[in-house]
Structure 1
Amino acid sequence: MDATIGDPTVASSVERVFESQLLPGIWGQVTFRSMAISVVLGTVFGFVGLRIMMKAGIIQALNLPINVLSFFFLKWFINLLRAFGFTTLPFSRQENVLILTTVTTCLNVAISGGFANYVVGMTSLVAKSLGVENPDPRDVVDNFPTGRWMLFLFVISMVGIMTSVPLNKVMIVDYRLLFPTGTVQAHLINSFHTPQGAHVAKLQVSTIFRFFLGSFSWTVFSWLYSAGDNCGFANFPMFGLELYKHRFKFDFSPTFLGVGMICPHVINLALLFGGIVSWGLVYPFLETKHGEWYHTESPSSLQGMNGYKVFICITIIITDGLFNFLTIIITSYIDLKHKQEENDSGLSSYMKRHPSLNYDECKRVEVFLQNKIPLTISVGGYIASATISIIVIPWLFDQIKFYHVATLYIITPVIAFANTYANGLTDWSVGYTYGKFTIFVVAAWIVKAGAVVAGLVACGIMIAALHISSQATQDIKTGYMTLTSERAMVIGQTVGVIIGSIVNPCIFLAFQKGEKPNVSIGSPESHFPCPFAGLFRAIGVIGTGGVKELPDYCLAMCFASFCITIATNVLSLVSQRKGWRIHKYLPNMTVVALPFFAGPDFTIDMCLGSAVLFIWTRMNSRSADLLSSAVAAGLICGEGLFALPSAVLGIFSVQPPMCMKFFPSGKEVDVVDSFLNNLETPTRT
C-alpha cells in the first residue's frame, strides 16, 4: 500500500513562495498572542464539541472551523493591537498551526474525556436506567469533585501526547503516511498565507460569520418557544404525529444541518437507513411482543425494550469495529513487511523510487529533523507521565488498582502504534472500539463490586491514550508541511491539554447547572441525554455476568445482527477488491447502528444538510466546493455557542417564556381547557 502523496518532483513548489520569509524560532511560533487566542477558541469549541457529543453521541471533525477561525482571530487580534498603537510583527503560518493544534487538542480532550459516555455512565441515574434499582455504591460515581476530574483528564491526556512523540518521525518521515486531514489542513494554511490565498480566506471567514449570526439568532428564537416538555421547534412533527411517537421528526437544528453538509452523502443515508430499520421496523415489531418476550414497561430497563436497543447496538458496533480492526492490522502488517524488505526504511524506499527529492520535501525533512525531539526524551516523557498516572488514578478511583493501570500503559504503545498507523492510512481511529473492549476486559478481570466503574475508568485511560495520540500525530503532519517545529507543536499540544483539562469540566458543570429542575444529564428528559452512556455501562455489566437478565430472544437478535454485520463487511471488502460497483451502496454498519440507540431524529437533519449541498453543487459546483464547509462551520458554531448563554440563564432559573406544542386534531380544545383549569389563580396584593 502506497501511503505517499504522489510524485513530489511534479508537484508545484510551495516552500519557494515562502523562501524569502525568515523561519521563526520556537518562541517565535509559540507566542503569547497565539496562546491567548487558543484559550478563547478552545473554550468555544469545548462548548460546541461537548454539546454535540452529549446530545447525539457522535461528532464529526471540526478541524476546518478551527483552522479558518484561528486564521481569522489571529489576524483580527493583530489588527486590533495595531489600531491601539502597538507595534507587532505579522503573524506566520507557524503561529496559525500552533493555534490549530492547541485548540484541536483541547477539543480532543473534550471528546475523549467521556462526558458524553463513560463519565455519565458511572452515575446512579444511568445505573437505574439499566434496571438496577439499588446499585452498589462502589459501582456508582455521583457528584465527583470538578477539581479531581481536571486532574484525571490532565494525567490521562498527557500520556496520550507523550505516546505520540516517539511515533512522529516513524509515521511522517520514515513511512510518509498521508494523514488526509492533516494534509488538507496544511494545504489550507499554506494557501491562506500566500497572496493568492488571501481573498479565499476573507470570503470563507465572511461566510462563516454570516451563517454564525443566522444560526445563533435562530437558536435564540427557537429557545423562546421551548418552555415545558416536548415544546418548541425541536419537536416539529413533520411526518405526522404517529411517526413522531417513534421519534421521526425534524428539529430545525442548524448544528446537524451543518454536520450533514460536512459528512459524505453515503454516511448520512446510512444513518437514515439505520433509523428507519430500527425505529420504523424492528422496534414497532418488538412492541407487539410485550407480554410474551418481555414484561416490564420501563423504557430504560435492560429486561425490557431497552435491552434489545442496547445490545443490538453494541453487537453491531463491536462486530464492525473488530472486523475493520483486523482488516487494518493485516493490511498494516503487509505494508510494513514490504517496507522492511525494501531496506527497513520508508524514507530509503521513497528515495529509491524518487532519486531527486524536490525542494519542498527536502526543506520539510530538514526542518523536521533539526527540531526533532530526541528519542530518549520522548520515551522518558512517556514513562514519567505513565508513572504519574499509575499513582494518581487509583487515588482518584479506588475501584481500580495500580496494577490494572500499569498493565494498560504497558500495552498502550503497541496498540497506539497500530492505531496511529491505521489513522495515517485511512484517516480513521478505532480508539473507541479499543475503549469498549477495555471496559469488558477490566470488568471481567475484577468481577466484584466496583468492577463496572473500574472498567469505565480503564476505558477513559485507553481512549485518551489512543485518540489523542493519533490526532496529535495528524497535527504534526500539518506542522511538517508548514515548517512548524515539532518541539513547538508538542508545547502547543501540552497547552491544549492544560486548557482542555480545566475548561471542559467547567463546561460540563455549567450544563448540569443549566438543566431543568429535577432533571439530570443523561436522562431522556434532559437537554443532553448522552445516548451512549447506558451503552458503555452496559458493556461493564456484561463483563460482570449480567447477560442472564436480558429479555427473551435478545441474544438471538444479537447473533443475527452479528451475522448481518459480518456478511455486509465481507461483501464490501470483496467488492472493493474485485472492483464491483455494489460496494459504493453498502452502508457502514457502525453508522447504521448509531440510530438504534440515539434515535432517528438527528439523521433527518443531516440528510437535509446533505440534500442542500447536493442541490448547491448542481447549481454551482465551484461555489459549493469553496464555501460549503464555511457555511457548515457557521451553522455548527452558531447553535453550539448558544449553549453558553443558555447555561447562564439556567443557572439563574430563567425559563423560556412560551411553549409551542402539537396535538391531534380535535383534542387541542380539551388539552387547553385542562391546562387552564389546572393553573393556579394568581394571588392579588
Structure 2
Amino acid sequence: MEMEQIRDENDNVVVKRLPPWTANITCRGLVASVVIGVVYSVIVMKLNLTTGLVPNLNVSVALLAFVFIKAWTKVVHKSGFVTTPFTKQENTIIQTCAVACYSVAVGGGFGSYLLGLNKKTYKEAGVDVEGNSPGSYKEPGIGWMTGFLFVTSFVGLLALVPLRKIMIIDYKLAYPSGTATAVLINGFHTPKGDKMAKKKVVGFNKFLSASFMWACFQWFYSGSGTCGFTSFPTFGLKAFKHSFYFDFSMTYIGAGMICSHLVNLSLLAGAVLSYGVMWPLIEDRKGVWFSSSLPESSMKSLNGYKVFVSIALILGDGLYNFLKIAVFTARTIYQTSRKMPKTRRNVSKTVSRHEKKYWKHIDDSVLNEVFIRESIPFWLAATGYVAFSIVSIVVIPLMFPELKWYYAVVAYIIAPSIAFCNAYGAGLTDMNMAYNYGKVALFVLPAMSGKHHGVIAGLVGCGLIKSIVSISSDLMHDFKTGHLTLTSPRSMLVSQAIGTTIGCVVAPLTFFLFYKAFDIGNPDGEFKAPYAIVYRNMAILGVQGFSALPNHFVHLCYLFFGFAMLANFVRDVGPEKIRKLIPLPMAMAVPFLVGAYFAIDMCVGTLIVFIWHKVNKQKANLMVPAVASGLICGDGLWILPSSILSLVRINPPICMNFVPTKST
C-alpha cells in the first residue's frame, strides 16, 4: 500500500499509510455533503435569480467541509465516543460531493434556459414577436425539471473519464481552481495547518453569525415592494432611480471579496456606462428611436436595448475566448506531441508556486501511482456513456417534442470531442466555456427547427450541450484536486455521482422555494432572473435572423460586439500598463440588465480586501476566504426562514421608505 510523506512542525519526515478508497466515503462525510450542498444550492440559486453571476466557491466549500467535520468530531468526543481520524482524502470527497450538488443548481438553467421556457418570460419577450410562437412555453414543474436534470447530468460524468490520465499526468494540466482547492486542503491537514485552520474556523463562524443576524434585522424593515435597507438611497434619490445605491447585501460583499479586483471594477464600469450614461440617453429618445406607447417590457422599447446590447457583449467575449482557447489548445497539443517542454511554461505562475509548495512534501511518483492505481475500466465508462445517452435520447423528445430525437443523437456523438476541448482549455486557463458551446446550439437549433418549434428546441438543446460539457470540465478539476491530495479517482467519481444525484433532487426543490415565495422574473423586482429573457431572445434571434431587429439595434450590437473582441485582444497583446485598464466585457454585460446596485456591493467587497492587504497582507491572505464565506453563508441561511415566512403569508411589520423633502 502507498505511503504519504509529510513534515511535522520541526520539519521531520512523518510517513502515513494511505487508506483504501472505500474508507474515504463515510456516513458523516455524506451528511456533511448534503448539508453543505443544500446550503450552497440556496446561495447560488439566489445569485442565479438576481444577477446570474456566481463566483467560484470550491475553496469556500472545502473550508466549510473542514469546519463541519471538526465540529462533528468535537461533539462526538465530548459525548464519550471515538471517531476515525479526519483525513484530507475525506475532506476532498466531501468537497467534491458538495460542489457536484450545488453545481446542478448553477448549471441547471434555473436562471437561464429552463426559466426562459416559462409563460412570464414568453410574454416578456413579446407575444406578437415573430418566432415567439403562441404556446411556445412550459411552466416550471418539480417533476419534469427533476427528470430533465437526471437524464442530462449523468452523461457528462463519463464522457472524459478514460482521458483522465492524459489530462492530469501526461499533459500536466494545471486546473488552477482544482489546484488551489488541493493546496487549501493539504494545508489544513498538517500540524502547522491545524493552527491556521482554527483561526479560519473562528473567523468563519463569527462572520456567519453576524451576517445571519443582519439579514434577520433587515427583514423587519423590508415591508413590501421597495422598502428597507435593500432600497437605501445611499447616493441620493436621483441616483437611486438609476439603480445606483448600496443595498447592504452581505452575499454580494462576500462575493466581491472572492472575485478579483478586475471583475468587480469591470462590473462597476458596465454599470456606469449603461445605467449612468446609455440608458438615460436612449430613454430621452423615446418617441424618436422607439414608440412612446410601447410598454417597458417590450423588446422594441428601452428593455430591448438592454437585452440585445448585453447579448452582443456576451457573444463577442465568448467568441473571442472560444477562438483563443481553441488555437491555444491546438498549439499546446501540437507542442506536447513533439515533446517540446513549452507546455509547462504556459501554466499560471501562481499555480506553479502552489504546486511547488505542495510538492516539497511529497514525491511526484507517489501522486501518479495513487492516481493510476485504482483504474476506472474503459468499457465501464463507454458503456455507461452510451446507456445514459440512449435514455436521454428517448426521454427528452418525449418531454419536449419540439426537439427531434436525431438532434439529440448528433449532440451526444460530438459531445465527447467538445467536452475534451473545453476541459483542456479549462486546464490551461481555468475558463469553463460550456455556456458558449450551449449558445451555439441556441442559435443553430432554432434556425433548423423553424419558427413554430425553434425557441423551445433551442433552449432545450442549449441545456443538453451545456450540461455535458460543463460537468466533464468540473470533474477534471476535481480529479486534479484528488491527484494532489492523494485521493482515489474511484472515490472521486463515486462522490461526484452521489453529489449529482443529490443535486438533481435538491436544485428543483430549491428553485421552487424561490419561485413560490418571490416574484421571479419581475424586471423591477429583486429576483429579475436577467438571463432567462436573454436566452429566450437569443433563441428568437436564431429563428428570425438579424434582419428582424428594429432600427439602431443592429448598430449598437455591432459596436459592442466589436468592443468585446477588441477589449479582449488588447488585454492579451497590449502593453502591461494598458492591459490593467481594460475591463472584462463578460462582467460588464451583467449590470446592463440587472442594474448598478450589486456592482456597488461587489466593489465594497473588493475595497475591503484592498485595504486589508495594505494593512496586513499576511492576515488578509489567511482570512479573506473565511470571512467572505461566512458573509455569504450567513445571508444565504436567512433565505430559508424568510421564504417560509413568505409562504405562510407573514409579512415584515415595517416598511422603511424614503421620499424627497417637500418644497415650501
TM category (shorter chain) comes to: over 0.9
Q: In the aligned structure 2, how far is the partner of 1:242 from the partner of 1:271? A: 21
**Secondary structure at the residue paired with 1:237?**
coil
Question: For 1:266-665, what aligned pairs fall within 5 Å after superposition?
Answer: 266-295=262-291, 296-342=293-339, 360-515=363-518, 520-545=519-544, 547=546, 550-575=549-574, 579-665=575-661
Deviation at 1:612, TM superposition (A): 1.1
Deviation at 1:313, TM superposition (A): 0.7
Map of 1:236 onto structure 2: 232
Stretch moving more, 326-335 or 291-300: 291-300
Deviation at 1:547, TM superposition (A): 4.5
Deviation at 1:174, TM superposition (A): 1.0
Q: In the aligned structure 1, how far is the partner of 2:160 from the partner of 2:146? A: 21
Q: In the aligned structure 1, how far is the partner of 2:363 from the partner of 2:646? A: 53
Instruction: Give per-residue Cα distances to partners, 1:614-662, cap 9 Å, x unaligned.
Output: 1111111111111011111111111111111111111111111110111
Query: Normalization by structure 2: what TM-score?
Result: 0.93
Instruction: Give per-residue Cα distances to partners, 1:307-329, cap 9 Å, x unaligned.
Output: 11111111111111111110111
Map of 1:141 onto structure 2: 138
> Over aligned residue pairs, what C-alpha RMSD do you find?
2.2
Map of 1:202 onto structure 2: 198
Instruction: Give per-residue Cα distances to partners, 1:358-416, cap 9 Å, x unaligned.
Output: 85210011111111212222222222211211111112222212111111111111111
In structure 2, the gaps of 5 or more residues are 348-355
Instruction: Give per-residue Cα distances to partners, 1:463-518, cap 9 Å, x unaligned.
Output: 21111211111011111111111000000000001110011111111112212xxx
Contact 1:13 1:360 in 2 (8 A): no
Q: In the aligned structure 2, how far is the partner of 1:466 from the partner of 1:441? A: 17
Quick one: which of 47, 52, 58 aligns to 2:53? Answer: 58
The 1:111/1:424 distance shift into structure 2, 3 A limit, reads same
2:260 counterpart letter in structure 1: P
Deviation at 1:566, TM superposition (A): 2.3
Contact 2:315 2:561 in 1 (8 A): no
Question: For 1:140-219, what aligned pairs fall within 5 Å after superposition?
Answer: 140-144=137-141, 146-219=142-215
Q: In the aligned structure 1, how far is the partner of 2:398 from the partner of 2:79? A: 50
Q: In the aligned structure 1, how far is the partner of 2:418 from the partner of 2:586? A: 21
Contact 2:266 2:584 in 1 (8 A): yes
Query: Normalization by structure 1: what TM-score?
Result: 0.90
Instruction: Indicate the percent of aligned positions where both proteins have the same amino acid.
Output: 39
Instruction: Give per-residue Cα distances to partners, 1:96-155, cap 9 Å, x unaligned.
Output: 1000000011111111111111111111111111222696454100143x1221121122
1:316 counterpart letter in structure 2: L
Paired residues in the alignment total 642
Contact 1:251 1:605 in 2 (8 A): yes
Map of 2:351 onto structure 1: none
Contact 1:302 1:551 in 2 (8 A): no
Quick one: which of 104, 111, 118 aligns to 1:116? Answer: 111
The answer to whether the aligner puts 1:46 opposite 2:49 as a matched pair is: no
Contact 2:335 2:343 in 1 (8 A): no
Stretch moving more, 482-491 or 557-566: 557-566
In structure 1, the gaps of 5 or more residues are 1-11, 670-685
Contact 1:302 1:549 in 2 (8 A): no
Q: In the aligned structure 1, how far is the partner of 2:7 from the partner of 2:109? A: 40
Q: In the aligned structure 2, how far is the partner of 1:399 from the partner of 1:86? A: 58
Stretch moving more, 319-328 or 377-386: 377-386
The 1:557/1:339 distance shift into structure 2, 3 A limit, reads same
Stretch moving more, 490-499 or 408-417: 408-417
Instruction: Give per-residue Cα distances to partners, 1:561-605, cap 9 Å, x unaligned.
Output: 122222222222221xxx542112111111111211121110001
Instruction: Give per-residue Cα distances to partners, 1:441-483, cap 9 Å, x unaligned.
Output: 1111101323211111111111211112111110111111111
**Secondary structure at the residue paired with 2:366?**
helix
1:582 counterpart letter in structure 2: I
Q: In the aligned structure 2, how far is the partner of 1:17 from the partner of 1:489? A: 30
Contact 1:175 1:345 in 2 (8 A): no
Instruction: Give per-residue Cα distances to partners, 1:521-544, cap 9 Å, x unaligned.
Output: 112244421011100000010011
Contact 1:273 1:592 in 2 (8 A): yes
Contact 1:259 1:609 in 2 (8 A): yes
